[in-house]
């Protein structure tokens, strides 16, 4: 067990309430003065370009009723007081009222008509979003779309002629190149810090999504989430997202999402409502990590290379294995290359087998095994109307939560045979105690590899039932 705990912290300041998202437009920046090798770097041009386009975002979240699991103790904690624990050893569900809270972060204006890019974790759970510009103008914002896998979000304010930040190509960044981070750490608005690009295509294993970060030693702290990483030319090259720390505060390294990933996410959200992803149908990791793991087990491995992605498993319906004339030295690089592709795109995959190089052409597919765009479904696809189960019904059925179906108009519920009066308690093994909870589950399932809702619930008679509700034709 490691002595020092390592924390990956999304740079968002928790105060009591808020968060936000963004969009993309191609803009060309005026040429900035370039310092000669060995001369001091002037970052004032980049700061002047970036500051007007970086905003403060407040995510306000209202008080909510939440159902939690608590120990089922009929003696009210008596035995716990003496250290014996709960005699029953079971648990029960209890409703609590969460306090109002707000979270703050940053965002980047990428179009003059009000589209703003930020992190998903900045806007997640927001009941109200407030955007404050560098000149203190204030706007309410709406979420256009979010993408949990890349931790990006697109939001919009109703305004025109807003200052924007030109978008550069993050692929052109070089390790050692100077950059600035612009944001609102700890509510210290309009803060600029400077550093260099420490690494590219950095995978951290800190999330379950796409990881191919730009690593920088420019100070990134809580509240910087969603802010801008800017090159010397005054171009946006990344969206600040995470810091690597043993304390929760900056201690050397921050991480930003490259603009090559951001551009694709924003374009897809605006065009399709959700991000269109492809899958190679492989499982594996960095070749070097595989070789080192085998050495630790006393095994000798010679793959003919120390670079690339080791393919441990190929799924039956996958495209095969590993890109497009570009050298891939690790998994995070492959993730970045895949992230800019859409279902139906063609790719050339070069891989090694028995130390021999093999090249294959493939047509990339989505998680559902097709080349068609996947539209994120809304709760309306169910064709029903819902309300939280009443207290009277809770007592009658000895239940603590659920959503009652009060009307079935058609759609997926009718096709599955779910009628008025049925009380939904769990969907895909997740507790359903609010309409918002059901909405999130439907959206997530609709873009998954298995677009089906597995619904568990109970009728007013006490009869329990289980339904499988497909979300696609």
Give the span between the Cα atoms of 107 and 58, in whole angstroms.
10
Give the span between the Cα atoms of 41 and 45, in whole angstroms.
10
Q: Is 80 a catalytic residue?
A: no
Give the span between the Cα atoms of 377 and 442, in whole angstroms.
7
Residues written for the chain: 473
Of 20, 225, 245, 446, which one is the catalytic site residue? 225
- Residue 412 is given by DSSP the state H
Give the span between the Cα atoms of 145 and 117, in whole angstroms.
10
Q: Is 345 a catalytic residue?
A: no
- Report which of 414, 407, 423 is spatially closest to residue 459, judged by C-alpha positions: 423
| β-strand partners of 67 | 95
CA 78 centroid distance within chain: 43
Give the span between the Cα atoms of 357 and 337, in whole angstroms.
20
Q: Is 56 a catalytic residue?
A: no
Give the span between the Cα atoms of 453 and 446, in whole angstroms.
9
Give the span between the Cα atoms of 223 and 250, in whole angstroms.
11
Give the span between the Cα atoms of 104 and 75, in whole angstroms.
42
Of 106, 121, 170, 286, which one is the catalytic site residue? 121
| β-strand partners of 180 | 194, 230
Give the span between the Cα atoms of 163 and 53, in whole angstroms.
5
- The SS3 call for residue 136 is coil
Of 147, 151, 268, 286, which one is the catalytic site residue? 151
- Report which of 23, 16, 30 is spatially closest to residue 110, judged by C-alpha positions: 23
Give the span between the Cα atoms of 61 and 15, in whole angstroms.
11
User: What are the φ/ψ torsions at residue 291 (nearest 5 degrees)?
Assistant: -60, -45
Provide the annotated active-site residues. Answer: 121, 151, 225
């Amino acid at each position: 067990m490691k002595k020092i705990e390592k924390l990956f912290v999304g740079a968002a300041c928790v105060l009591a309430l808020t968060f936000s998202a963004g969009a993309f437009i191609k803009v060309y920046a005026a040429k900035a003065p370039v310092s000669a090798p060995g001369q001091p770097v002037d970052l004032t041009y980049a700061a002047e370009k970036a500051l007007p386009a970086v905003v403060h975002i407040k995510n306000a979240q209202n008080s909510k009723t939440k159902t939690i699991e608590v120990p089922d103790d009929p003696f009210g904690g008596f035995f716990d007081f003496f250290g014996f624990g709960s005699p029953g050893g079971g648990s029960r569900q209890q409703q609590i009222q969460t306090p109002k809270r707000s979270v703050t972060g940053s965002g980047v204006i990428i179009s003059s008509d009000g589209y703003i890019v930020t992190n998903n974790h900045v806007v997640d759970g927001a009941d109200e979003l407030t955007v404050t510009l560098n000149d203190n103008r204030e706007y309410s914002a709406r979420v256009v779309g979010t993408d949990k896998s890349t931790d990006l979000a697109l939001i919009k304010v109703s305004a025109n002629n807003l200052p924007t930040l030109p978008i550069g190509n993050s692929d052109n960044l070089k390790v050692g190149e100077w950059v600035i981070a612009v944001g609102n750490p700890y509510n210290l608005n309009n803060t600029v810090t400077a550093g260099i690009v420490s690494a590219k295509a950095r995978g951290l294993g800190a999330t379950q999504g796409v990881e191919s970060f730009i690593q920088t030693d420019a100070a990134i702290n809580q509240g910087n989430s969603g802010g801008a990483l800017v090159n010397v030319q005054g171009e946006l090259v990344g969206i600040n997202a995470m810091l690597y720390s043993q304390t929760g505060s900056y201690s050397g390294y921050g991480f930003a999402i490259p603009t090559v990933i951001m551009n694709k996410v924003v374009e897809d959200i605006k065009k399709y409502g959700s991000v269109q992803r492809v899958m190679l149908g492989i499982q594996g990791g960095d070749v070097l990590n595989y070789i080192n793991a085998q050495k630790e087990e006393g095994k000798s491995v010679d793959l003919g290379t120390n670079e690339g992605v080791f393919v441990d498993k190929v799924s039956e319906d996958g495209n095969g294995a590993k890109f497009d004339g570009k050298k891939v030295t690790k998994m995070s690089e492959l993730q970045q290359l895949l992230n800019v592709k859409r279902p139906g795109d063609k790719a050339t995959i070069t891989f090694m087998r028995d130390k021999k190089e093999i090249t294959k052409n493939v047509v990339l597919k989505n998680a559902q095994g097709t080349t068609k765009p996947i539209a994120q479904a809304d709760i309306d696809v169910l064709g029903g109307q819902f309300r939280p189960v009443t207290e009277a019904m809770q007592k009658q059925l000895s239940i603590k939560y659920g959503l009652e179906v009060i009307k079935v108009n058609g759609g997926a519920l009718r096709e599955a045979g779910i009628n008025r009066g049925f009380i939904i308690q769990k969907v895909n093994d997740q507790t359903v105690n609010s309409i918002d909870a059901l909405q999130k589950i439907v959206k997530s399932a609709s873009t998954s590899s298995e677009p089906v809702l597995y619904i568990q619930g109970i009728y007013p008679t006490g009869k329990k039932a289980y339904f499988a509700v497909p979300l696609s034709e």
